[in-house]
Chain A
Amino acid sequence: MSSDCIEVRRLHRFFGKTKAVNDISFSVARGHVFGYIGPNGAGKTTSMRILATLDLPSYGDAFVDGFSVVNDPELVRRQLGFMPDSFGTYRDVNCSEYLDFFARAYGLVGRERNQRLKWVLDFTGTNGMAGKPVRGLSKGMKQRLCLGRALIHDPAVMILDEPAAGLDPRARIDLRKMIRELADRGKTILISSHILTELAEMCDSVGIIEQGQLLATGSVEQIQRERAKHRELVVRLLDRLADAAAELSAHDSVGKLDVDGNRLRFEFEGDDEAQSELVAWMVGKGYRVAEVISHKKSLEDVFMQVTEGLVQ
C-alpha cells in the first residue's frame, strides 16, 4: 500500500463558469499533518468537501487510504473524520448523548461504543461537560466536542476545516496540542486555517491555494527556502562601516542598505549558500565581522508573497 494516505489527482470543481478548484494535485503521507492555506474563496472548503465525499469533482479524483472518493465513497467514509466549519449540533441533546448518537450512526455497538465514548470524552477534555446541553456550550467546548464527534469511530484520516476559527488563545493552544497528539498516534490530518503561525508550528507540510489553484506545496521550511529568496541581513562590524557599505551597495545580490549604528542592515537575494559566500567575501576583504543575523521570512510573509489576495 502507498505511504500516502491522502492523494489528490488533478482535482477540478466548477460551478457554472466559476472554477472553485482548478487542477489541484498533492499528497499527504500517513501520520502527517497537512496545512491548507488560502484566502477566503480560494477553494479550500470545496476541495475538503470533495475529500469528505460531500461533493463530486467535475474532473479528477481524490483517494483516501487508496479508495476513490468518486467510486468508493462508502469505503472512504469509514476511514474519514470530518469537521466542517460549522458546528452541526442538536437542540435538547447533551454532550454524551450527542457523541453516543454519532457512535451509533457509525455502527459502533455495546462495549466498543462505550469505550470509544469514554476515550473521546477524556481526550477532548469534555468529561466534565458530558451531561450539559450541547447548545449551551462555549465555542471552545463546542469545537472540542465536534473534534470528538469526528474522532468517535477512530478514523485514519481527519479533515478539519478552520477548527481554530474564533477560539481564544488558550483554546487554540489546546487544539494544536490535540492535533499534534493525534498525528503522533498515526492519524493523517488535513487542516485549513487562517492562523498561519499555528499552522507553521503543527504542520509537517502545507499547501498554499488561491483562486482554485495550488501555488506552493511542501514543508514549511522548503517553501520558505524556495520562495523566500529575499531576506534581510544584519551584519555587525567592528570598524570600517562606511567602506563596507559602499562595497556592499555595489554587490549584485544586495538591495536597499542602511547603516544602523555599528550594524549594516540590507536586503539580500540568495539562499544560505550565497549568504555564506557573501560573509566569506567580506572576511576576505579584511572586514572584521562580529555578527551576522539573517531574518528569514515567516510563513505569513511567504503567504503574502505567493498569494495576490484575489477572490473569485
Chain B
Amino acid sequence: MSDAVTLSSEIDRWERIDRWFEKMGDRFNPILVKETRQALKSRQFVVTFSILLFAAFAWTVAGSLSMMPQIYTTPSAPRLLIGYYFVLAIPMLLVVPLAAYRSLEGEIDDGTLELLSITALSPWQIVLGKLASATLQMMLYFVALFPCVAYAYNLRGVDLPTVLLMIGILLVTALVLTVIALFLAPLSRGRTGRIVTLLLLILVLVLAEYGIGALVISMILYGTMMSVSLLFFLVATAIVVSLSLSHLLLSATAAQLTPESENRSTTLRLSMMVFSASLAGIVVYATQALNRSDTNGVLWFAFIAAFGLWLAAGSMMAAESSVITPRIRRELPQSFLARMMLTWFTPGPATGIVFASVNLVVWAGFAALVLGSIFNWQSPASSAGFREPLRMLVLLVAYAIGGLICVRLVILVVRINNHPRVEIGLAALVAVMVLSALVPYSIGMHLNDYRNFPYSRWQLTNWVWTINEAQNGIAVGWIEVIMILSVVGLAFLICLLTMPQVVMPRRTATPEEVIEALRQK
C-alpha cells in the first residue's frame, strides 16, 4: 500500500515538473523552439559538432605530445590556445552564420515565411527566434570546447583577461556575423540576387575569419600592446557599435519580412537614430579618453559612418511609398504635441527626406562643435585650421541634401508607371551623384576642346571637383559654399511646401469594432 502511495507521489512529482517545463516552454519564442528541435536533429549540426569534438580531441593529443617534455616546465598555453581558437572559430564564424542565412532563406523559398506572416508572430519575433537559435548553437559549440580552453590556460603563458577577451571577441563577432547573415538572407528574392548576397556573405565571413584570427593570434602571442584607456575605449566602442549596428540590421531584416500593408519605416528610423546617437556618444567618449589627434581620427571616422548611413537611408526613405493605409495612420501619435515632435517617424518620402536632412545637419553641427573644442576656435592661431574642415562639413551636407531632393524627383517620375522598391532610391542616388559630377565636367571639356581647364562656378554641381578645390580653399571659398547652400536650402523649402499634406500628420480615428476586437485580444 505504502509502495503504491510512494509511486503515485513520485509520478505526481514528475508530472508537476513536466507541466512546469511545458509552462516555461510556452514562454519561449516559438521560432526558437522549432529551430532548436530542427537544428539538433539536422545532419549539419551533428556533423559539425562531431568534427569539433574530434578536432579538439586530436589537437589536445597532438599539441600536447608535440610539446613534450617542455610542456611540464615552460609555458605552453599560446600554441594550444591558437589551435583551439581555430577549432571553435570555424563553426562559430562560418557554419552558424551560414546556417542562419540558409534557415531564413529557406523560409522564403519554401513559402513558410508567408504562412508565418499570417500567424500571431511578428517579423521581429521571427528574426529574434532565428538569432536565439543560432546563439544556442554557438553556446553548445563553446561549452563543448570549454574544457580544452581551461586545460590550455592551466599550461600557463596566457593571462586570464586575454583568454576572456579572446572569447568575448569570438562571441560578439559570431553574433554580429549572424545578424549580417540574417540581414542578407531576405535582401533579394531573385536567383541572381541570391547568388550575389550569398557570395557577399561568404566574403564577409572569410574576411572576418581572417581578420579576427590575426587579431586573436597576435593577442595570444604578444598580449594587448596598448594603454588601458585606449583598450577600454576600443572595447566600449566595439560593444556599442556591435549592439547598435545589430539592432539596425535586425530592424532592417524585420522590415523586409513585414508585409507591405504594415508600417515598416518607423522602427527602422528609430534604430538609425540610436545608431547615430551611439556614434556621437563614442566621439564624446573619445574627447575625454583620447588625445587630440586620436579624437580627430575618431570624429572623422564617426562622421563618415553617420554621413554614409543618413545619405543611404535618406535615399531609400525618399523612395518609400507615399500611400499610408488608414491603419498605419491610426497608429501614429494622436496628440498635437506628439504629432508635432514625432512627425519625422511617420513613413513616407517627404518625412524621410526631412528626417535624413535634419540628421545630416545635426551631425555636421555636432562635428563642428567637437572640431571647435579640438582646435580651440577662440584662439586666432588655430581658427584657420578649424575653418577648413568646417567648410568641408557644410559642403558635404549641402550636397547630400541636394542629392536626396534629386532622388525624390527621380522617384516621383519612376512611380508614375511602376511600383519601385526602396532600394531603387539608392540606385537613383548613385546615378544622381555620378551624373551631377560627370555632366558639367563633360560640358566643360567639350567647350575647352578636350583640354584641361580651370575650375569655375559652372562646376558647382560637380561635387567631386568642388570638394577637392574646397580643401585648398583657393577656387572654392565661403561665397561658393553659400551659393550652394542657398540653392539647396531653396530646393528643400520648395520640396516641403509642395507636400504639406504628406509632411503634416493627420489624426485618424479607430473604428469602434476594431477597438473592441483589439481589447478582446
B111 contacts chain A at the CB level, 8 A cutoff: yes
Measured in the bound complex, the distance between the Cα atoms of B122 and A106 in whole Å is 11
Consensus secondary structure, chain A interface:
loop
- CB-based nearest B residue for A150: B115
- A86-B111, A89-B110 as given contacts; A54 in contact with B38, CB under 8 Å: no
A240 contacts chain B at the CB level, 8 A cutoff: no
The residue that B326 contacts in the complex, of A71, A89, A106, A110, with Cβ under 8 A, is A71
A70 and B327: CB pair below 8 A? yes
B110 and A88: CB pair below 8 A? yes
The residue that A91 contacts in the complex, of B31, B33, B38, B261, with Cβ under 8 A, is B38
A255 contacts chain B at the CB level, 8 A cutoff: no
- CB-based nearest B residue for A101: B34
Measured in the bound complex, the distance between the Cα atoms of B42 and A202 in whole Å is 42
A279 contacts chain B at the CB level, 8 A cutoff: no
A105 and B22: CB pair below 8 A? no
Give the residues in chain B near A56, CB-CB below 8 Å: 259-261, 325
A73 and B261: CB pair below 8 A? yes
**Stretch in contact with the other chain, from A74-82, A175-183, A301-309:** A74-82
A72 and B118: CB pair below 8 A? no
A105 and B261: CB pair below 8 A? no
- A92-B42, A104-B30 as given contacts; A67 in contact with B111, CB under 8 Å: no
**Stretch in contact with the other chain, from B264-272, B469-477, B513-521:** B513-521
B111 and A84: CB pair below 8 A? yes
8 Å CB contacts to A: which residues of B89-128? 106, 110-112, 114-121
- CB-based nearest B residue for A80: B118
- A92-B38, A110-B22 as given contacts; A104 in contact with B118, CB under 8 Å: no
B417 contacts chain A at the CB level, 8 A cutoff: yes
- By the criterion of a CB under 8 Å from any partner CB, how many residues of chain B are at the interface? 39
B325 and A90: CB pair below 8 A? no
8 Å CB contacts to B: which residues of A51-99? 52-56, 66-67, 69-73, 75, 77-78, 80, 82, 84, 86-93, 97
- A77-B118, A90-B112 as given contacts; A53 in contact with B261, CB under 8 Å: yes
1/0 per residue B26-47: CB within 8 Å of A? 1000110110011001100000
Query: In the complex, what's the smallest C-beta–C-beta distance from B18 to chain A, in angstroms?
Result: 12
- A84-B111, A90-B112 as given contacts; A97 in contact with B117, CB under 8 Å: no
The residue that B114 contacts in the complex, of A84, A91, A93, A105, with Cβ under 8 A, is A84
B513 and A66: CB pair below 8 A? yes
B115 and A88: CB pair below 8 A? yes
B114 and A88: CB pair below 8 A? yes
Measured in the bound complex, the distance between the Cα atoms of B500 and A299 in whole Å is 55
A169 contacts chain B at the CB level, 8 A cutoff: no
- CB-based nearest B residue for A103: B30
Query: In the complex, what's the smallest C-beta–C-beta distance from B267 to chain A, in angstroms?
Result: 16
A52 and B118: CB pair below 8 A? yes
A97 and B259: CB pair below 8 A? no
Give the residues in chain A near B118, CB-CB below 8 Å: 52-54, 77, 80, 82
Consensus secondary structure, chain B interface:
helix
B119 and A106: CB pair below 8 A? yes
B261 and A70: CB pair below 8 A? yes
B23 contacts chain A at the CB level, 8 A cutoff: yes
Give the residues in chain A near B498, CB-CB below 8 Å: none
Give the residues in chain A near B33, CB-CB below 8 Å: 101, 104
Measured in the bound complex, the distance between the Cα atoms of B38 and A233 in whole Å is 63
Give the residues in chain A near B119, CB-CB below 8 Å: 77, 102, 105-106, 153
Give the residues in chain B near A82, CB-CB below 8 Å: 115, 118
Measured in the bound complex, the distance between the Cα atoms of B30 and A97 in whole Å is 11
Give the residues in chain B near A284, CB-CB below 8 Å: none
A286 contacts chain B at the CB level, 8 A cutoff: no
Give the residues in chain B near A238, CB-CB below 8 Å: none
B325 and A97: CB pair below 8 A? no
Measured in the bound complex, the distance between the Cα atoms of B325 and A78 in whole Å is 20
Query: In the complex, what's the smallest C-beta–C-beta distance from A54 to chain B, in angstroms?
Result: 6
B38 and A93: CB pair below 8 A? yes
B418 contacts chain A at the CB level, 8 A cutoff: yes
B262 contacts chain A at the CB level, 8 A cutoff: yes
A71 and B325: CB pair below 8 A? yes
- A54-B118, A54-B259, A84-B111 as given contacts; A90 in contact with B34, CB under 8 Å: yes
- CB-based nearest B residue for A159: B118
A149 contacts chain B at the CB level, 8 A cutoff: yes
Measured in the bound complex, the distance between the Cα atoms of B521 and A106 in whole Å is 12
Query: In the complex, what's the smallest C-beta–C-beta distance from B114 to chain A, in angstroms?
Result: 6
Give the residues in chain A near B517, CB-CB below 8 Å: 67, 72, 75
Query: In the complex, what's the smallest C-beta–C-beta distance from A83 to chain B, in angstroms?
Result: 9
The residue that A72 contacts in the complex, of B22, B23, B114, B514, with Cβ under 8 A, is B514
Measured in the bound complex, the distance between the Cα atoms of B119 and A54 in whole Å is 11
- CB-based nearest B residue for A14: B419
Measured in the bound complex, the distance between the Cα atoms of B116 and A104 in whole Å is 11
A109 contacts chain B at the CB level, 8 A cutoff: yes
- CB-based nearest A residue for B521: A78
Given contacts A88-B111, A105-B120, A149-B115, 4 further A-B contacts (CB under 8 A): A55-B260, A67-B514, A82-B115, A92-B38
A-B residue pairs in contact (CB < 8 Å), sample of 18: A16-B419, A53-B261, A56-B259, A70-B326, A71-B326, A71-B514, A73-B261, A75-B514, A75-B518, A78-B120, A90-B112, A91-B38, A92-B37, A92-B38, A93-B34, A105-B30, A105-B116, A153-B119
B interface vs A, CB < 8 Å? 22-23, 26, 30-31, 33-34, 37-38, 41-42, 106, 110-112, 114-121, 259-262, 325-327, 330, 417-419, 513-514, 517-518, 521
A interface vs B, CB < 8 Å? 16, 52-56, 66-67, 69-73, 75, 77-78, 80, 82, 84, 86-93, 97, 101-102, 104-107, 109-110, 113, 149, 153
Name the 7 nearest CB pairs between A and B, nearest first: A104-B30, A105-B119, A109-B26, A101-B34, A71-B327, A107-B120, A92-B41
